[in-house]
Structure 1
Amino acid sequence: FLSLCLSLSLLSFIGEFVGEESVETLFLSSFLLPLLPFFSFFLFPLSFLLSSLSLCELSQKFKMEFWNKKVVEPLKSVFSQNLTPHAVALSVVCGAVGGIFPLPVASTFVCFGFIVALSLNAPICQIMNFLVTPVQFGLIIPFMRFGEKLLQMEPLPLTAEALQEELGKSVVGTIEKFAVGFGVAMFGWAVIAAVAIPLLYIIIYAGIKRTESAKKKAAGAKNPYLDKPKDA
């Protein structure tokens, strides 16, 4: 539309001057007429861009729908699955206990095994795993010493300082070098986990149920007619 208006205005402008018979007007007309396609060529994309604003809005709407369908909704479904008191309590406990598994970089796989075997809430379990990661390396030696006592073994010549130094050099090399020590530590962790998981589950589950009952009582106090049966 813009290019058409400009072309018509140029034609009317040329027509006014071409009416006078002079060399200058003929030269002007011969110079401006070839410019009409030039202006049309460059103004057409501009007019198309202005008219395509609605297309951009449609494209943005499509992107938002795609984002919600492919990203937001799947994340909501993942975070909202298995949110019963039992699943939440067990996810917290297994994530924390699995996160202190005395083998570097293996705690994530241990928690994943708990998630699959016990149908846990994956985000809660892995979040607890990451929260206890700083404690994981400090508990390797205590688990190792506990496993040595259970197996009636001589203490292995490994200290926390030496382990930290070796882990700073190479994690895989440290695991290969102290494979026996890590095996003993994993045995000690398994014995403690077998006792700690049920006890912690009972405590956390009771806390969640108590919190839920308190919320229900508070809601009933705010709305005393909420739990009353309706009159027939």
Structure 2
Amino acid sequence: MWRSRLRQAVTRAFSQGLSTRKIALSISVGLMMGTMPLVWGSCVICLAVGWWWRLSHPLIQLVNYLLYPVQIALFFPFFYWGARLFGNPVSLNREFVAQLFDAPLAGLEQLWLVNLQALVLWGGINLALFPLSYLATRTLLHRFRPDSVKTMVL
């Protein structure tokens, strides 16, 4: 089901005249944003990045939404390894949740710090993976783009 949605969106983007480069960038941005360990706002950030680079918003959002289960699964590894990277051994366990209820401001401050550390780790990983995902996506798009579009888009 998700493959057909992605295939339809890519075919639609080609038929609208988007270049292989723009479509590959849109998919790569969606992949990058879809794994962001951010509890809020990844859709807004996708919209801003797509607008800034003039990419396909529907394609970015589709990839972002398809990766939502992966994003949730990666929250705790990013939180854990981000905290370890900065030497802040915070464990998100029952005591932490109790602290959120007992002292909400202190708990939210700690959660914000852990989230920021996870975002720094995510950014470092994506600095390496984004170019690789772009090149792989662009190569696949060149190979598998629809025949009717091959003559339109170079």
TM-score, L = length of structure 2: 0.70
Return the index of the structure with the highest Cα Rg: 1
Quote the offset at 1:105 in angstroms: 2.4
Counterpart in the other structure of 1:210: 143
Distance 1:106 1:90, change over 3 A: same
Quote the offset at 1:135 in angstroms: 1.5
Out of 71, 78, 85, the residue aligned to residue 150 of structure 1 is 85
CA–CA separation in structure 2 for the residues paired with 1:200 and 1:138: 20
CA–CA separation in structure 2 for the residues paired with 1:196 and 1:203: 10
Structure 1: runs of 5 or more not aligned = 1-77, 220-232
Number of matched residues? Answer: 132
Instruction: Give every structure 1 segment of 4 or more consecutive aligned residues whose post-TM-superposition deviation is greater than 3 Å.
Output: 78-82, 173-177
Verify the 8 A CA contact 1:93 1:200 in the aligned structure 2: yes
2:45 equivalent to 1:113: no
1:103 partner amino acid: L
Highest RCO, 1 vs 2 (Cα 8 Å, sep ≥ 6): 2
Counterpart in the other structure of 1:137: 72
Out of 102, 110, 125, the residue aligned to residue 192 of structure 1 is 125
Verify the 8 A CA contact 2:82 2:114 in the aligned structure 1: no
Verify the 8 A CA contact 2:50 2:56 in the aligned structure 1: yes
- CA distances 1:55-112 after superposition (whole Å, capped 9, x unpaired): xxxxxxxxxxxxxxxxxxxxxxx96656210111111110121122111222112211
CA–CA separation in structure 2 for the residues paired with 1:82 and 1:192: 32
Out of 90, 93, 97, the residue aligned to residue 25 of structure 2 is 90
2:95 equivalent to 1:178: no
Verify the 8 A CA contact 1:81 1:121 in the aligned structure 2: no
> Over aligned residue pairs, what C-alpha RMSD do you find?
3.3
